[in-house]
Amino acid sequence: MRIYKSFFRFEKCRKACKYRLYRLMRTYKEIVKNYILISTTFKEFTGENFSSYLRKLRIEKSKKFLLNTDMSILEISQKVGFEDARRFAKVFKEETGLTPTASRDKRMAEKK
């Protein structure tokens, strides 16, 4: 009798997990479908991908922080949405041709 109850509980738990996984996958598919729709619509109106736009927006914001604050590169990278300062520095250099530190030094020299 105990084995039967244990099996019954296990089977009930397995079905509940399977149903939750099904709901999770359905939700995921909706999110992906909506992201694709939003991304496509954004590109039609602006002419560029949303990720490219967001990247440029983050770099422009970081330029303002570099010029107007004494925040560290790490703080700025986190403030504009990068989790890794090295990745931020790489993207910054790809977009501007300068490292964040070199950009700050150049802008400070121009400001004087």
Residue 53 has pLDDT above 60, yes or no: yes
Of 70, 68, 54, nearest to 107 by C-alpha is 68
Determine the pLDDT at residue 18.
78
List, for residues 85-107, the tens digit of each pLDDT value.
999 999 999 999 999 999 998 88
Of the chain, the end-to-end C-alpha distance in Å amounts to 86
Q: What is the mean pLDDT of residues 66-74?
A: 92
Determine the pLDDT at residue 4.
59
- Side-chain half-sphere of 61: how many Cα atoms within 13 Å? 15
Considering only residues 16 and 79, tell me which one the structure prediction assigns the higher pLDDT.
79
Determine the pLDDT at residue 3.
64
Q: pTM (2 decimals)?
A: 0.67
